[in-house]
Amino acid sequence: MLEKLSDLMDEWFDRLSWAALGVSIVAACFLVYTNHQEAAAVGVANPHASAPRFALSGGIQPQRPKELEDALAGARKLLEDEKFPEVVSTTENIIKQYPKESFAYVYLARAYTKQDQLEESLKHYRQAVELNPDLVDRKSPDRIGPELKLIVKKAVVKARTKEFKDRPDSKKVLKALYYLQRRLAGGCE
């Protein structure tokens, strides 16, 4: 009797295992299907192509307009060529047209950093991170966390000086600095 019960239980466990496997396969197929549907909704034929940008928060981010991509590429090139005043003017023009483009703020912050204007740099890094919190996420392909950590460390040292404390905008700069420190540490607000 006990042996029959054991055989019956083994049979049911096998059936449950196969059922669980079947449910898992159906769920995986559903996820792949919805991913393709989302990609088709934003006009991408192949969702695995390099064209769409995937947000860590889920889904596909829409493509940037061609003129924005060109302007950002120009700013990146100017930054590489160390033409920092031109980077500032180019990125400020981009920000006027596309105020929610986080990479324009990143390039602007990098230009100010290279010109040793740490305070301006921190303000623009903060704006970039506020617009796109994934920039400091370890899993993000667009991560700026390591470079930002170095700048925050420099800023902390500079914030301890008397000259900094006497500045009229020191509180704004400290707010940006503290915000970035919390974001880099993974803290919440």
82-97 confidence digits (pLDDT tens):
999 999 999 999 999 9
Mean pLDDT of the chain: 78
Q: Which comes out higher in pLDDT, residue 27 or 120? A: 120
- Coil/strand/helix, residue 60: strand
Asked if 35 contacts 47 with a C-beta cutoff of 8 angstroms, the reply is yes
Give the pLDDT confidence of 52-88 residue by residue, as tens digits: 444 444 444 557 788 888 898 999 999 999 999 999 9
In angstroms, the CA 71 to CA 91 distance is 8
- Coil/strand/helix, residue 62: coil
Q: Does domain 65-185 have CATH number 1.25.40.10?
A: yes
User: Which residue, chain included where needed, has tokens 């090139």?
Assistant: 77
Q: Which comes out higher in pLDDT, residue 20 or 72? A: 72
The CA-based angle 62-69-92, given to 5 degrees, is 110
Asked if 39 contacts 46 with a C-beta cutoff of 8 angstroms, the reply is yes
Q: What stretch(es) of the chain map to CATH 1.25.40.10?
A: 65-185
pTM check: above 0.85: no
Question: Residue 139 has which token pair?
Answer: 């899993």
Does residue 153 surpass a pLDDT of 80? Answer: yes
